[in-house]
Structure 1
Amino acid sequence: MVGFARRSVLALALATSAAALATGWGAGTAAAAERLKVGVLKFGTVSWETSVIKAHGLDAAAGVEIEIVELASNDAARIAFQAGEVDTIVSDVLWAARLTAENRPVVYIPFSATEGSIMVAAGSPIRTLADLKGKKIGVAGGALDKGWLLIQGYARQSAGIDLTRDAEPVFGAPPLLQQKLETGELDAALLFWNFAARLEAKGFRELMPFDEAARKFGIEGNVSLLGYVFRAGFAAEHPAALKGLAEASRKAKALLAGSEAEWQRIRPQMRAEDDATFQALRRRFLDGIPKRPVEAEQADARRLYAILAEIGGERLVGPARTLPDGIYWSGLKGGS
């Protein structure tokens, strides 16, 4: 009788262990997914990617459970990140470098190489940067916007003009500047890529994209100046979370690169009011997918950072005149 009882207890224990493994409890918790709070703007391009990730379970497949936290603006995202309310946001590598130089170290995983452009009306007589002399130029992102600084530097180098003095820069929010360019109140506007895409769909043309200006200074390829930023301490404690997000991000981008249906699914998030706008947004997003080895990315980022530091000075980059070591997450080596 005792033997029977012992066999019954053993059978029950084995059954319970099997159930625990099947449901993720008990011993299965050792392989539980890492949790990751990702801050996104509701209609931002990061939300397109995270939507694809969640719809296809790409996070779970990569061993990470992504929780999407919607934030109201880029400033709100940076505040939430620094307060520890989210584990990661997509931000600028220059900001990541500045935090690190100020003893708030972070690491960075490239997200997009798509940058802004100077846009003009289709029939505008402006054909070169020299033609901006005396013109009213809208500038999104403020006086220290990296695109604006680089354009200024190349205008000095190529045309001998100082756009801060020889033109009339007008700083403002991108939607307002886009509207003012459309109504003719501005002669040109330097806008983030998604606003440039919307203008392109309406027949406006690029005068000079950011990456073309960068190449004028010897930058060899497109640099992913936007990326997922993590606190270095978090990255050290949760490398599986970073690896999972990087893998899910790559797979989401691959889906978007090859699936018309996927684009149609996320189209409401894009706020594309017509097909021309939809196609322009899609093309520019896909053009920005990082494709280069991270070592090549980092080498060009160092060159570009040094150029921008020289032009923008301490107001732009803080105490670091060179890109701090260790910004790019070490888990990316050998690929991006």
Structure 2
Amino acid sequence: MNISRRALCGAAVLAATSLLSFHALAKPSAPKIRVGILKFGTVNWELDTIKYHKFDAANGIDVEIVYFAGEDASNVAMLAGDLDIIVSDWLWVSRQRSQGADLTLAPYSTAVGAIMVKEDAPIRAIPDLAGKKIGVTGGSLDKSWLLIQGLARRDHKMDLTRESEIVFGAPPLLSEKAVSGELDAVLNFWHFCARLEAKGFRRLVGADDAAKALGASGPVSALGYVFHDKWANENPDVAMNFLRASGGAKKLLAQSDAEWQRLAPIVRADGRELEVLRDRYREGIPNRPLAEEEKDAAKLYGILAELGGAKLVGEARQMAPGTFWALKI
């Protein structure tokens, strides 16, 4: 029987196509994890590193980044089950758990805000803030602001809300007013503090300083990756593999200056500013046993509950059990 070359080529193509189809069916696609973050938040830096270097694929998962304009929107989407993971703080997680939700948290970053002043400012300690104009980001119930107030009251018998002029506002605006001299000091989020540091500001007191002075034995993650217990219990390998991918990205960001140069357009910084942001980010990488962080968070919760009351924590006076996810990587 004579078979033409064209027929042989056609048969080969058909066989190859069938083989590829078989492999596609035999190897299912990686589980997708929907992570909700703010469009211009610092979490972008880590997630971009995960995607660019394929840390998710290397761990058998596919991270899908879903952007939100505000934290409230991502929180609502999380509670509605439209996302698998968001980044939030343990106070919010504990409050949700105390109200019946099954949210839990894995540490993401210990980086926290600080009160910043110009390098040549005559403000050297908390008592020097008396009579000064202080900008505060995050509102009157911001936990960094509450902890610093608590430290001022305990060590200096000083009520900052009465003895200083407090101005609340958005982070970029308050930083601008601090640079222009319209504010004597500003309490801002950590990355805004880093940008101010690059412009000649210094830390007067940080929320981490206040936390340690008030009983924490070491750095406590201000933020964590938040997810539902049910999701993690039903997909333990997927949850663990996401945290492994996160760990791989953190390790690279901790060791590689070149990676920060790649991220410069996303960080929106260069030169000295990029270096300070890099260094402060690295300082915020969690490196303590989970049990220690959880124990310290519980201590701080009690202090914050006293300072912020029900408006901050709801009716629960103690941190809800299970707020920190009991993981082993």
Change (3 A) 1:225 1:103: same
Alignment of 1:197 onto 2:194? yes
User: What RMSD, in angstroms, separates the aligned Cα atoms of the two structures?
Assistant: 1.7
SS in 1 for 2:311: helix
1:249-260 map, 5 Å: 249-260=246-257
Distance 2:198 2:214 in 1: 29
Which residue is equivalent to 1:299?
A: 295
Say how many residue pairs are matched: 314
Alignment of 1:106 onto 2:103? yes
Contact 1:154-1:213 within 8 A present in 2 as well: yes
Runs of at least 5 residues in structure 2 that lack an aligned partner in the other structure: 1-15
Deviation at 1:41, TM superposition (A): 1.9
Contact 1:102-1:319 within 8 A present in 2 as well: no
TM-score normalised to structure 2 length: 0.91
1:83-162 map, 5 Å: 83-162=80-159
Distance 2:138 2:126 in 1: 19
Give the AA of the match of 2:291. Answer: E
Contact 1:63-1:240 within 8 A present in 2 as well: no
Deviation at 1:267, TM superposition (A): 1.0
Alignment of 1:63 onto 2:60? yes
Distance 2:17 2:201 in 1: 66
Match for 1:211 among 208, 212, 217? 208
Deviation at 1:74, TM superposition (A): 2.0
Distance 1:21 1:237 in 2: 28
Q: Percent identity?
A: 51
1:1-336 map, 5 Å: 22-23=23-24, 25-26=25-26, 28-29=27-28, 32-272=29-269, 274-330=270-326, 332-333=327-328
Cα deviation per residue 1:129-168 (whole Å; 9 max; x = unaligned)?
1111111111100000000000111101111111111111
Cα deviation per residue 1:74-95 (whole Å; 9 max; x = unaligned)?
2222222223332111111111
SS in 1 for 2:186: strand
Higher deviation after alignment, 194-203 or 180-189: 180-189
Distance 2:264 2:290 in 1: 30
Distance 1:261 1:271 in 2: 15
Cα deviation per residue 1:190-223 (whole Å; 9 max; x = unaligned)?
1000000010000011100111111111211100
Distance 2:251 2:207 in 1: 25
Contact 1:36-1:87 within 8 A present in 2 as well: yes
Distance 2:222 2:21 in 1: 45
Distance 1:262 1:205 in 2: 26
Give the AA of the match of 2:57. Answer: A
SS in 1 for 2:301: helix
Deviation at 1:19, TM superposition (A): 5.0
Distance 2:198 2:257 in 1: 19
Deviation at 1:22, TM superposition (A): 3.4
Distance 2:61 2:298 in 1: 31
Deviation at 1:17, TM superposition (A): 9.9
TM-score normalised to structure 1 length: 0.89
SS in 2 for 1:39: strand
Distance 2:149 2:22 in 1: 61
- Structure 1 residue runs of 4 or more that deviate by more than 3 Å after TM superposition: 15-22
SS in 2 for 1:218: coil
Deviation at 1:96, TM superposition (A): 0.7
Give the AA of the match of 1:293. Answer: P
